[in-house]
Structure 1
Amino acid sequence: MVYLHTLWLKIKERHKNRPGQQKVFTDQEEDAFAAHIITVSTFGYPVSTFDLKCIVKSSIERQGKKVKPFKNNMPGPDWVKSFLKRQPQLSQRIAQNITHARAATDEENVKNFFDNLEAELEGIPAENIWNYDETNLVDDPGQTKIITKRGTKYPERIRNSSKACTSLMVCGNAEGQLDPLYINYKSQKLWNTWIENGPANATYDRTASGWFDYQVFEDWFLNLMLPILKRQEGRKALIGDNLSSHLNQQVIEACETNNIRFIPLPPNTTHLLQPLDVAFFPPNEAKMAQNFKRVEGKQLRQQSLFDTKG
Protein backbone atom coordinates (compact mmCIF):
# COMPACT_ATOMS: atom_id res chain seq x y z
CA MET A 1 0.00 0.00 0.00
CA VAL A 2 2.83 2.40 0.86
CA TYR A 3 4.47 1.89 -2.54
CA LEU A 4 1.14 2.38 -4.37
CA HIS A 5 0.55 5.60 -2.45
CA THR A 6 4.02 6.86 -3.36
CA LEU A 7 3.40 5.99 -7.04
CA TRP A 8 0.06 7.82 -6.92
CA LEU A 9 1.80 10.92 -5.47
CA LYS A 10 4.38 10.82 -8.26
CA ILE A 11 1.68 10.58 -10.93
CA LYS A 12 -0.14 13.54 -9.40
CA GLU A 13 3.21 15.41 -9.15
CA ARG A 14 2.77 15.78 -5.42
CA HIS A 15 5.95 13.90 -4.53
CA LYS A 16 8.54 16.68 -4.46
CA ASN A 17 11.35 14.82 -2.68
CA ARG A 18 14.34 13.57 -4.60
CA PRO A 19 14.69 9.79 -5.10
CA GLY A 20 16.85 7.90 -2.62
CA GLN A 21 17.91 9.01 0.84
CA GLN A 22 17.09 12.64 1.48
CA LYS A 23 19.79 15.27 1.94
CA VAL A 24 20.90 16.11 5.47
CA PHE A 25 21.45 19.80 4.71
CA THR A 26 19.61 22.35 2.61
CA ASP A 27 21.13 23.73 -0.58
CA GLN A 28 21.89 26.98 1.25
CA GLU A 29 23.75 25.14 4.03
CA GLU A 30 25.83 23.13 1.57
CA ASP A 31 26.59 26.29 -0.42
CA ALA A 32 27.82 27.86 2.83
CA PHE A 33 30.18 24.89 3.39
CA ALA A 34 31.51 25.27 -0.15
CA ALA A 35 32.02 29.02 0.25
CA HIS A 36 33.88 28.42 3.52
CA ILE A 37 36.20 25.88 1.87
CA ILE A 38 37.03 28.34 -0.91
CA THR A 39 37.63 31.17 1.57
CA VAL A 40 40.00 29.26 3.84
CA SER A 41 41.84 27.91 0.79
CA THR A 42 42.57 31.48 -0.31
CA PHE A 43 43.93 32.09 3.22
CA GLY A 44 46.41 29.24 2.70
CA TYR A 45 44.49 26.47 4.47
CA PRO A 46 43.84 23.70 1.90
CA VAL A 47 40.96 21.57 3.18
CA SER A 48 41.25 17.78 3.29
CA THR A 49 38.24 15.47 3.42
CA PHE A 50 38.84 15.03 7.15
CA ASP A 51 38.86 18.81 7.62
CA LEU A 52 35.56 18.99 5.74
CA LYS A 53 34.06 16.36 8.03
CA CYS A 54 35.19 18.35 11.09
CA ILE A 55 33.68 21.55 9.67
CA VAL A 56 30.34 19.81 9.11
CA LYS A 57 30.43 18.14 12.54
CA SER A 58 31.07 21.47 14.29
CA SER A 59 28.19 23.07 12.38
CA ILE A 60 25.79 20.28 13.42
CA GLU A 61 26.81 20.38 17.08
CA ARG A 62 26.60 24.18 17.18
CA GLN A 63 22.93 23.83 16.25
CA GLY A 64 22.38 21.18 18.91
CA LYS A 65 21.30 18.56 16.37
CA LYS A 66 21.79 14.82 16.15
CA VAL A 67 22.09 13.53 12.58
CA LYS A 68 21.23 9.82 12.53
CA PRO A 69 23.00 8.88 9.26
CA PHE A 70 26.26 10.23 10.69
CA LYS A 71 28.23 8.44 13.41
CA ASN A 72 28.68 10.88 16.32
CA ASN A 73 27.62 13.64 13.90
CA MET A 74 30.68 12.97 11.75
CA PRO A 75 29.81 12.47 8.05
CA GLY A 76 31.22 9.47 6.25
CA PRO A 77 33.07 9.16 2.93
CA ASP A 78 29.83 8.57 0.97
CA TRP A 79 28.42 11.93 2.09
CA VAL A 80 31.68 13.70 1.19
CA LYS A 81 31.62 12.10 -2.27
CA SER A 82 28.00 13.13 -2.83
CA PHE A 83 28.64 16.63 -1.52
CA LEU A 84 31.51 17.16 -3.97
CA LYS A 85 29.29 15.98 -6.83
CA ARG A 86 26.70 18.59 -5.85
CA GLN A 87 29.35 21.34 -5.72
CA PRO A 88 30.89 21.57 -9.21
CA GLN A 89 33.04 24.57 -8.18
CA LEU A 90 35.02 22.25 -5.87
CA SER A 91 37.46 19.56 -6.89
CA GLN A 92 39.88 17.21 -5.16
CA ARG A 93 43.53 17.63 -6.01
CA ILE A 94 46.67 15.88 -4.83
CA ALA A 95 48.70 18.29 -2.71
CA GLN A 96 52.44 18.26 -3.26
CA ASN A 97 54.30 17.19 -0.15
CA ILE A 98 57.64 18.70 0.72
CA THR A 99 60.09 17.56 3.36
CA HIS A 100 60.40 19.35 6.68
CA ALA A 101 63.99 20.28 5.86
CA ARG A 102 63.01 21.84 2.55
CA ALA A 103 60.10 23.74 4.12
CA ALA A 104 62.40 25.08 6.79
CA THR A 105 65.22 26.14 4.48
CA ASP A 106 63.50 26.94 1.19
CA GLU A 107 64.55 30.56 0.76
CA GLU A 108 62.06 31.19 -2.03
CA ASN A 109 59.16 29.86 0.06
CA VAL A 110 60.05 32.12 2.98
CA LYS A 111 60.66 35.12 0.71
CA ASN A 112 57.26 34.71 -0.94
CA PHE A 113 55.61 34.59 2.47
CA PHE A 114 57.23 37.85 3.55
CA ASP A 115 56.36 39.51 0.24
CA ASN A 116 52.70 38.54 0.73
CA LEU A 117 52.83 39.50 4.40
CA GLU A 118 54.16 42.96 3.55
CA ALA A 119 51.26 43.50 1.15
CA GLU A 120 48.70 42.25 3.67
CA LEU A 121 50.01 44.43 6.52
CA GLU A 122 50.34 47.62 4.50
CA GLY A 123 48.53 50.44 6.26
CA ILE A 124 47.72 48.38 9.38
CA PRO A 125 49.06 50.01 12.59
CA ALA A 126 51.24 47.96 14.95
CA GLU A 127 48.54 47.72 17.62
CA ASN A 128 46.23 46.03 15.08
CA ILE A 129 48.72 43.29 14.11
CA TRP A 130 48.21 40.25 16.35
CA ASN A 131 50.08 36.97 16.65
CA TYR A 132 48.70 33.94 18.48
CA ASP A 133 50.25 30.60 19.37
CA GLU A 134 49.59 27.64 21.62
CA THR A 135 52.13 26.28 24.04
CA ASN A 136 51.96 23.17 26.17
CA LEU A 137 52.98 22.67 29.78
CA VAL A 138 53.64 19.18 31.14
CA ASP A 139 54.40 18.44 34.79
CA ASP A 140 56.24 15.21 33.94
CA PRO A 141 59.90 15.74 34.98
CA GLY A 142 60.99 13.01 32.57
CA GLN A 143 63.71 10.43 33.15
CA THR A 144 67.34 10.99 33.97
CA LYS A 145 70.34 8.86 34.81
CA ILE A 146 71.21 8.55 38.48
CA ILE A 147 73.97 6.87 40.48
CA THR A 148 72.78 4.08 42.76
CA LYS A 149 73.83 0.76 44.23
CA ARG A 150 74.79 -1.83 41.64
CA GLY A 151 72.09 -4.43 41.18
CA THR A 152 69.16 -2.12 42.01
CA LYS A 153 66.38 -3.19 39.61
CA TYR A 154 63.99 -0.28 39.89
CA PRO A 155 65.71 2.96 40.92
CA GLU A 156 63.10 5.65 41.53
CA ARG A 157 62.97 9.35 42.32
CA ILE A 158 60.15 10.84 44.35
CA ARG A 159 58.53 13.58 42.29
CA ASN A 160 55.09 15.12 42.50
CA SER A 161 53.81 14.78 38.94
CA SER A 162 50.80 13.38 37.15
CA LYS A 163 52.00 13.65 33.51
CA ALA A 164 49.12 16.06 32.97
CA CYS A 165 49.28 18.48 30.09
CA THR A 166 47.92 22.03 30.09
CA SER A 167 47.71 24.17 26.96
CA LEU A 168 47.94 27.94 26.90
CA MET A 169 46.80 30.23 24.11
CA VAL A 170 48.98 33.32 24.06
CA CYS A 171 48.23 36.30 21.83
CA GLY A 172 49.93 39.68 21.58
CA ASN A 173 50.24 42.55 19.14
CA ALA A 174 53.22 44.21 17.49
CA GLU A 175 53.02 47.04 20.02
CA GLY A 176 53.78 44.67 22.89
CA GLN A 177 50.30 44.26 24.37
CA LEU A 178 49.34 40.77 25.59
CA ASP A 179 45.79 39.47 25.79
CA PRO A 180 44.57 37.55 28.86
CA LEU A 181 45.61 33.90 28.79
CA TYR A 182 43.28 31.12 27.68
CA ILE A 183 44.13 28.02 29.74
CA ASN A 184 42.97 24.56 28.67
CA TYR A 185 43.34 21.60 31.05
CA LYS A 186 43.49 17.90 30.20
CA SER A 187 40.40 16.66 31.99
CA GLN A 188 36.78 15.62 31.61
CA LYS A 189 35.70 18.26 34.13
CA LEU A 190 36.86 21.72 35.11
CA TRP A 191 37.18 21.98 38.90
CA ASN A 192 36.67 25.29 40.69
CA THR A 193 39.99 24.98 42.54
CA TRP A 194 41.83 25.00 39.19
CA ILE A 195 40.79 28.57 38.44
CA GLU A 196 41.69 30.05 41.83
CA ASN A 197 44.62 32.48 42.10
CA GLY A 198 45.37 32.21 38.38
CA PRO A 199 46.58 34.88 35.95
CA ALA A 200 44.50 38.06 35.82
CA ASN A 201 41.39 37.84 33.61
CA ALA A 202 42.34 34.36 32.37
CA THR A 203 39.74 32.12 30.70
CA TYR A 204 39.65 28.40 31.51
CA ASP A 205 38.48 25.33 29.61
CA ARG A 206 39.23 21.61 29.37
CA THR A 207 39.45 18.86 26.75
CA ALA A 208 40.13 15.13 26.95
CA SER A 209 43.53 15.58 25.28
CA GLY A 210 44.54 18.89 26.84
CA TRP A 211 45.10 20.35 23.36
CA PHE A 212 43.07 22.99 21.53
CA ASP A 213 40.44 21.38 19.31
CA TYR A 214 38.15 23.28 16.93
CA GLN A 215 35.57 23.97 19.66
CA VAL A 216 38.09 25.39 22.12
CA PHE A 217 39.74 27.46 19.39
CA GLU A 218 36.33 28.85 18.42
CA ASP A 219 35.56 29.72 22.03
CA TRP A 220 38.92 31.47 22.43
CA PHE A 221 38.45 33.52 19.27
CA LEU A 222 34.77 34.44 19.57
CA ASN A 223 34.61 35.12 23.30
CA LEU A 224 38.08 36.43 24.13
CA MET A 225 39.88 37.64 21.00
CA LEU A 226 37.05 38.99 18.85
CA PRO A 227 35.75 41.53 21.41
CA ILE A 228 39.27 42.98 21.62
CA LEU A 229 39.57 43.21 17.83
CA LYS A 230 36.14 44.82 17.53
CA ARG A 231 37.24 47.69 19.77
CA GLN A 232 40.02 48.54 17.33
CA GLU A 233 39.41 50.75 14.33
CA GLY A 234 40.39 49.93 10.77
CA ARG A 235 41.84 46.72 9.38
CA LYS A 236 43.26 44.08 11.68
CA ALA A 237 45.59 41.15 11.03
CA LEU A 238 45.74 37.87 12.94
CA ILE A 239 48.83 35.73 12.30
CA GLY A 240 48.99 32.12 13.48
CA ASP A 241 49.81 28.52 12.74
CA ASN A 242 48.40 26.55 9.82
CA LEU A 243 46.37 23.98 11.80
CA SER A 244 43.18 22.14 10.88
CA SER A 245 41.61 23.07 14.24
CA HIS A 246 41.61 26.70 13.05
CA LEU A 247 39.45 25.83 10.02
CA ASN A 248 36.39 27.00 11.84
CA GLN A 249 33.46 28.31 9.85
CA GLN A 250 32.35 30.71 12.58
CA VAL A 251 35.87 32.10 13.02
CA ILE A 252 36.47 32.73 9.31
CA GLU A 253 33.04 34.34 8.87
CA ALA A 254 33.67 36.58 11.89
CA CYS A 255 37.04 37.63 10.41
CA GLU A 256 35.45 38.56 7.09
CA THR A 257 32.61 40.46 8.79
CA ASN A 258 34.92 42.46 11.08
CA ASN A 259 37.68 43.41 8.61
CA ILE A 260 40.20 40.95 10.06
CA ARG A 261 42.79 39.37 7.77
CA PHE A 262 43.53 35.79 8.86
CA ILE A 263 47.17 35.10 7.88
CA PRO A 264 48.57 31.55 8.25
CA LEU A 265 52.27 30.81 8.51
CA PRO A 266 53.75 28.47 5.89
CA PRO A 267 53.62 24.79 6.95
CA ASN A 268 56.58 23.46 8.95
CA THR A 269 58.18 26.86 9.41
CA THR A 270 56.84 27.92 12.81
CA HIS A 271 60.19 27.22 14.51
CA LEU A 272 61.64 29.93 12.22
CA LEU A 273 58.76 32.32 11.47
CA GLN A 274 56.38 32.11 14.44
CA PRO A 275 57.20 35.28 16.47
CA LEU A 276 55.98 33.87 19.79
CA ASP A 277 57.92 30.62 19.25
CA VAL A 278 61.12 32.44 18.37
CA ALA A 279 61.15 35.46 20.67
CA PHE A 280 58.66 34.97 23.50
CA PHE A 281 58.40 31.36 24.64
CA PRO A 282 62.14 30.43 24.83
CA PRO A 283 63.18 33.08 27.39
CA ASN A 284 60.08 32.40 29.50
CA GLU A 285 60.70 28.65 29.40
CA ALA A 286 64.34 29.22 30.37
CA LYS A 287 63.21 31.37 33.30
CA MET A 288 60.76 28.68 34.41
CA ALA A 289 63.46 26.01 34.19
CA GLN A 290 65.80 28.20 36.23
CA ASN A 291 63.14 28.68 38.91
CA PHE A 292 62.44 24.95 38.96
CA LYS A 293 66.12 24.14 39.48
CA ARG A 294 66.32 26.71 42.27
CA VAL A 295 63.30 25.16 44.04
CA GLU A 296 64.63 21.65 43.49
CA GLY A 297 68.04 22.66 44.89
CA LYS A 298 66.40 24.17 47.95
CA GLN A 299 64.45 20.97 48.55
CA LEU A 300 67.61 18.87 48.25
CA ARG A 301 69.46 21.09 50.74
CA GLN A 302 66.56 20.81 53.18
CA GLN A 303 66.54 17.02 52.79
CA SER A 304 70.33 16.88 53.33
CA LEU A 305 70.01 18.98 56.49
CA PHE A 306 67.25 16.69 57.75
CA ASP A 307 69.39 13.58 57.10
CA THR A 308 72.36 15.14 58.94
CA LYS A 309 70.24 15.96 61.99
CA GLY A 310 68.78 12.46 61.91
Structure 2
Amino acid sequence: MDETALSISSKPLPVLARKGSRHVGRLRAEKSRLITAIYACCASGKYVPPLMVFPGKINEDMFEGAPVGSVGTSSPSGWFNENVFVLCVKHFDEFVKASSNNPMFLILYGHTSHMSYGAIIYCIERDITMITLPSHASHKLQPLDVGVFKSLKSALKVAQLNRLSHNIPKRITEAEIGRIFGHAYNISTQIFHAINAFRATGIEPLQSKYFFGIGFCSGKIFCRKIS
Protein backbone atom coordinates (compact mmCIF):
# COMPACT_ATOMS: atom_id res chain seq x y z
CA MET A 1 0.00 0.00 0.00
CA ASP A 2 1.21 3.48 -0.83
CA GLU A 3 -0.15 6.93 -1.62
CA THR A 4 0.73 9.47 -4.28
CA ALA A 5 -0.26 13.08 -4.92
CA LEU A 6 -1.93 13.83 -8.25
CA SER A 7 -2.31 17.24 -9.82
CA ILE A 8 -5.70 17.99 -11.37
CA SER A 9 -4.91 21.54 -12.43
CA SER A 10 -5.36 22.79 -15.98
CA LYS A 11 -1.82 23.51 -17.17
CA PRO A 12 -1.34 25.69 -20.24
CA LEU A 13 -0.80 23.84 -23.52
CA PRO A 14 2.00 24.80 -25.95
CA VAL A 15 0.96 27.53 -28.38
CA LEU A 16 1.99 27.75 -32.04
CA ALA A 17 2.01 31.32 -33.40
CA ARG A 18 3.41 33.25 -36.32
CA LYS A 19 6.90 34.63 -35.76
CA GLY A 20 6.77 38.25 -34.67
CA SER A 21 3.23 38.08 -33.27
CA ARG A 22 2.79 40.60 -30.47
CA HIS A 23 -0.43 39.25 -28.96
CA VAL A 24 -0.92 35.50 -28.57
CA GLY A 25 -3.84 34.11 -26.58
CA ARG A 26 -3.36 31.08 -24.39
CA LEU A 27 -4.97 29.25 -21.47
CA ARG A 28 -4.00 30.86 -18.21
CA ALA A 29 -2.36 28.73 -15.53
CA GLU A 30 -4.53 28.12 -12.50
CA LYS A 31 -3.73 27.47 -8.88
CA SER A 32 -2.52 23.92 -8.33
CA ARG A 33 -5.14 21.46 -7.05
CA LEU A 34 -4.03 18.13 -5.63
CA ILE A 35 -5.74 14.92 -4.63
CA THR A 36 -4.15 11.92 -2.97
CA ALA A 37 -4.70 8.42 -4.35
CA ILE A 38 -4.01 5.39 -2.15
CA TYR A 39 -3.22 2.18 -4.01
CA ALA A 40 -2.78 -1.40 -2.80
CA CYS A 41 -1.66 -4.39 -4.84
CA CYS A 42 -0.10 -7.81 -4.34
CA ALA A 43 2.65 -9.85 -6.01
CA SER A 44 0.12 -11.86 -8.03
CA GLY A 45 -0.99 -8.71 -9.85
CA LYS A 46 -4.30 -8.04 -8.10
CA TYR A 47 -5.30 -4.52 -7.01
CA VAL A 48 -7.59 -3.17 -4.32
CA PRO A 49 -9.72 -0.31 -5.71
CA PRO A 50 -8.16 3.04 -4.74
CA LEU A 51 -9.16 5.43 -2.00
CA MET A 52 -9.07 9.09 -3.04
CA VAL A 53 -8.55 12.00 -0.67
CA PHE A 54 -9.93 15.38 -1.78
CA PRO A 55 -9.32 18.81 -0.28
CA GLY A 56 -12.49 20.33 1.16
CA LYS A 57 -15.94 18.91 0.50
CA ILE A 58 -16.70 16.06 -1.87
CA ASN A 59 -19.82 15.20 -3.84
CA GLU A 60 -21.10 12.35 -5.99
CA ASP A 61 -20.16 14.10 -9.25
CA MET A 62 -16.48 13.57 -8.44
CA PHE A 63 -16.91 9.79 -8.67
CA GLU A 64 -18.56 9.62 -12.09
CA GLY A 65 -16.28 7.42 -14.18
CA ALA A 66 -14.01 6.62 -11.20
CA PRO A 67 -12.54 3.09 -10.85
CA VAL A 68 -15.15 0.51 -9.83
CA GLY A 69 -15.14 -0.04 -6.07
CA SER A 70 -13.17 3.11 -5.29
CA VAL A 71 -14.11 5.27 -2.32
CA GLY A 72 -13.34 8.82 -1.32
CA THR A 73 -12.88 10.99 1.71
CA SER A 74 -11.58 14.48 2.43
CA SER A 75 -9.00 16.23 4.53
CA PRO A 76 -8.34 19.96 4.94
CA SER A 77 -5.38 19.88 2.56
CA GLY A 78 -6.17 16.77 0.52
CA TRP A 79 -3.15 15.05 2.05
CA PHE A 80 -2.88 11.73 3.87
CA ASN A 81 -3.24 11.69 7.69
CA GLU A 82 -3.92 9.24 10.55
CA ASN A 83 -7.71 9.34 10.17
CA VAL A 84 -7.44 8.64 6.46
CA PHE A 85 -5.10 5.71 7.15
CA VAL A 86 -7.70 4.03 9.37
CA LEU A 87 -10.18 4.26 6.49
CA CYS A 88 -7.53 2.85 4.12
CA VAL A 89 -6.92 -0.21 6.29
CA LYS A 90 -10.66 -0.90 6.62
CA HIS A 91 -11.16 -0.42 2.86
CA PHE A 92 -8.25 -2.81 2.23
CA ASP A 93 -9.75 -5.42 4.57
CA GLU A 94 -13.13 -5.26 2.85
CA PHE A 95 -11.52 -6.73 -0.26
CA VAL A 96 -8.89 -9.11 1.15
CA LYS A 97 -11.08 -10.47 4.00
CA ALA A 98 -8.20 -11.07 6.42
CA SER A 99 -8.77 -13.58 9.22
CA SER A 100 -6.93 -16.18 11.31
CA ASN A 101 -7.38 -18.58 8.39
CA ASN A 102 -6.40 -15.94 5.85
CA PRO A 103 -3.71 -13.73 7.47
CA MET A 104 -2.30 -10.80 5.52
CA PHE A 105 0.98 -8.91 5.31
CA LEU A 106 0.59 -5.21 4.53
CA ILE A 107 3.84 -3.61 3.34
CA LEU A 108 3.95 0.17 3.51
CA TYR A 109 6.19 3.18 4.03
CA GLY A 110 7.00 3.92 7.67
CA HIS A 111 5.51 7.42 7.82
CA THR A 112 4.16 8.71 11.15
CA SER A 113 0.62 8.88 9.70
CA HIS A 114 0.77 5.09 9.29
CA MET A 115 1.39 4.57 13.00
CA SER A 116 -2.21 5.29 13.93
CA TYR A 117 -3.31 3.56 17.13
CA GLY A 118 -6.75 2.85 15.70
CA ALA A 119 -5.27 1.27 12.57
CA ILE A 120 -2.85 -0.88 14.56
CA ILE A 121 -5.61 -2.21 16.82
CA TYR A 122 -7.79 -2.92 13.80
CA CYS A 123 -4.94 -4.87 12.13
CA ILE A 124 -4.28 -6.90 15.27
CA GLU A 125 -7.95 -7.89 15.49
CA ARG A 126 -8.08 -8.87 11.79
CA ASP A 127 -4.74 -10.75 11.60
CA ILE A 128 -3.14 -8.14 9.34
CA THR A 129 0.59 -7.75 9.98
CA MET A 130 1.95 -4.35 8.94
CA ILE A 131 5.55 -4.36 7.71
CA THR A 132 7.14 -0.92 7.34
CA LEU A 133 9.86 -0.21 4.81
CA PRO A 134 13.15 1.46 5.86
CA SER A 135 13.26 5.25 5.70
CA HIS A 136 14.33 6.86 2.41
CA ALA A 137 14.12 3.52 0.58
CA SER A 138 10.65 3.56 -0.97
CA HIS A 139 12.12 4.36 -4.41
CA LYS A 140 13.92 1.01 -4.22
CA LEU A 141 11.68 -1.20 -2.07
CA GLN A 142 8.11 0.06 -2.56
CA PRO A 143 6.60 -1.84 -5.55
CA LEU A 144 4.02 0.86 -6.25
CA ASP A 145 6.70 3.55 -6.46
CA VAL A 146 8.93 1.38 -8.61
CA GLY A 147 6.47 -0.03 -11.12
CA VAL A 148 2.98 1.50 -10.95
CA PHE A 149 2.90 5.20 -10.08
CA LYS A 150 5.11 6.27 -12.99
CA SER A 151 2.65 4.69 -15.43
CA LEU A 152 -0.26 6.27 -13.54
CA LYS A 153 1.11 9.81 -13.76
CA SER A 154 2.07 9.44 -17.42
CA ALA A 155 -1.43 8.23 -18.28
CA LEU A 156 -3.00 10.99 -16.17
CA LYS A 157 -0.99 13.67 -17.97
CA VAL A 158 -2.06 12.35 -21.37
CA ALA A 159 -5.72 12.20 -20.27
CA GLN A 160 -5.57 15.81 -19.02
CA LEU A 161 -3.94 17.07 -22.22
CA ASN A 162 -6.52 15.27 -24.36
CA ARG A 163 -9.31 16.79 -22.32
CA LEU A 164 -7.89 20.30 -22.65
CA SER A 165 -7.15 19.91 -26.37
CA HIS A 166 -10.85 19.30 -27.07
CA ASN A 167 -12.29 21.77 -24.59
CA ILE A 168 -10.20 24.93 -24.80
CA PRO A 169 -10.44 27.26 -22.93
CA LYS A 170 -12.48 25.46 -20.28
CA ARG A 171 -10.66 24.34 -17.13
CA ILE A 172 -10.86 20.82 -15.71
CA THR A 173 -13.70 20.81 -13.22
CA GLU A 174 -14.23 18.72 -10.09
CA ALA A 175 -16.99 16.82 -11.90
CA GLU A 176 -14.41 15.49 -14.40
CA ILE A 177 -11.86 14.29 -11.86
CA GLY A 178 -13.30 10.79 -11.50
CA ARG A 179 -13.49 10.17 -15.25
CA ILE A 180 -9.94 11.38 -15.95
CA PHE A 181 -8.46 9.51 -12.99
CA GLY A 182 -10.45 6.37 -13.86
CA HIS A 183 -8.98 6.35 -17.36
CA ALA A 184 -5.41 6.70 -16.03
CA TYR A 185 -6.04 4.10 -13.33
CA ASN A 186 -7.17 1.45 -15.82
CA ILE A 187 -4.00 1.96 -17.86
CA SER A 188 -1.63 1.86 -14.88
CA THR A 189 -3.09 -1.11 -13.00
CA GLN A 190 -2.12 -3.87 -15.38
CA ILE A 191 -1.30 -7.27 -13.84
CA PHE A 192 2.23 -7.28 -15.23
CA HIS A 193 2.97 -3.86 -13.69
CA ALA A 194 2.44 -5.25 -10.17
CA ILE A 195 4.23 -8.55 -10.81
CA ASN A 196 7.28 -6.82 -12.33
CA ALA A 197 7.32 -4.22 -9.54
CA PHE A 198 7.51 -6.85 -6.79
CA ARG A 199 10.22 -8.65 -8.73
CA ALA A 200 12.21 -5.42 -9.27
CA THR A 201 12.16 -4.58 -5.55
CA GLY A 202 13.29 -8.09 -4.60
CA ILE A 203 10.31 -8.69 -2.30
CA GLU A 204 8.67 -11.50 -4.29
CA PRO A 205 10.54 -13.62 -5.05
CA LEU A 206 12.80 -12.45 -2.22
CA GLN A 207 16.12 -11.29 -3.65
CA SER A 208 17.28 -8.44 -1.41
CA LYS A 209 20.43 -9.12 0.59
CA TYR A 210 18.74 -7.68 3.65
CA PHE A 211 15.16 -6.76 4.25
CA PHE A 212 14.25 -4.93 7.44
CA GLY A 213 10.73 -4.45 8.70
CA ILE A 214 8.72 -3.59 11.78
CA GLY A 215 5.51 -5.53 12.26
CA PHE A 216 2.47 -5.43 14.51
CA CYS A 217 0.79 -8.78 15.10
CA SER A 218 -1.21 -10.39 17.92
CA GLY A 219 -0.62 -7.45 20.23
CA LYS A 220 3.17 -7.63 19.88
CA ILE A 221 5.68 -5.43 18.11
CA PHE A 222 8.56 -7.18 16.41
CA CYS A 223 11.45 -6.34 14.10
CA ARG A 224 12.50 -8.93 11.55
CA LYS A 225 15.58 -9.17 9.36
CA ILE A 226 15.52 -11.59 6.48
CA SER A 227 18.74 -12.39 4.64
Bucket of the pairwise TM-score, normalised by the shorter protein: 0.5 to 0.7
Task: Give the TM-score, by structure 1 length.
Answer: 0.46
5 Å matches for 1:188-203? 189-203=57-71
Identity of aligned residues (%): 22
Q: Deviations over 1:14-55 (max 9, x none)?
A: xxxxxxxxxxxxxxxxxxxxxxxxxxxxxxxxxxxxxxxxxx
5 Å matches for 1:1-310? 132-140=1-9, 157-159=26-28, 161-187=30-56, 189-222=57-90, 224-231=91-98, 233-294=101-162
Q: Deviations over 1:132-174 (max 9, x none)?
A: 110111123557997886988xx87315755211111111111
Measure, in 2, the Cα distance between the counterparts of 1:160 and 1:145.
12
> Which structure would you say has the larger Rg?
1
Measure, in 1, the Cα distance between the counterparts of 2:22 and 2:97.
65
Does the residue aligned with 1:201 lie in a helix, a strand or coil? coil
Alpha-carbon RMSD: 3.0
Distance change (3 Å), C-alpha of 1:293 and 1:164: closer
Equivalent pairs counted in the alignment come to 165
Shift of 1:184: 1.0
The 8 Å contact of residues 4 and 37 in structure 2, kept in 1 or not, is answered as yes
The 8 Å contact of residues 107 and 133 in structure 2, kept in 1 or not, is answered as yes
Does the residue aligned with 2:48 lie in a helix, a strand or coil? coil
Shift of 1:293: 4.5
Higher helix share: 1
Which amino acid letter does the alignment assign opposite residue 214 of structure 1? E
Distance change (3 Å), C-alpha of 1:194 and 1:286: closer
Distance change (3 Å), C-alpha of 1:202 and 1:150: same
Measure, in 2, the Cα distance between the counterparts of 1:197 and 1:295.
14
Q: Deviations over 1:196-242 (max 9, x none)?
A: 332211111111111111111111212x1123343563331000111
Does the residue aligned with 1:179 lie in a helix, a strand or coil? strand
Distance change (3 Å), C-alpha of 1:178 and 1:134: same
Measure, in 1, the Cα distance between the counterparts of 2:89 and 2:55.
20
Greater RCO, CA 8 A, separation 6+: 2
Higher strand share: 2
Task: Give the TM-score, by structure 2 length.
Answer: 0.61
Distance change (3 Å), C-alpha of 1:201 and 1:160: farther
Does the residue aligned with 1:271 lie in a helix, a strand or coil? helix
Q: Show structure 1 runs of 5+ residues with no match.
A: 1-131, 301-310
Q: What's 1:15 paired with?
A: none
Measure, in 2, the Cα distance between the counterparts of 1:297 and 1:196.
21
Which amino acid letter does the alignment assign opposite residue 133 of structure 1? D
Distance change (3 Å), C-alpha of 1:244 and 1:255: same
Does the residue aligned with 2:148 lie in a helix, a strand or coil? helix
Q: Deviations over 1:67-125 (max 9, x none)?
A: xxxxxxxxxxxxxxxxxxxxxxxxxxxxxxxxxxxxxxxxxxxxxxxxxxxxxxxxxxx
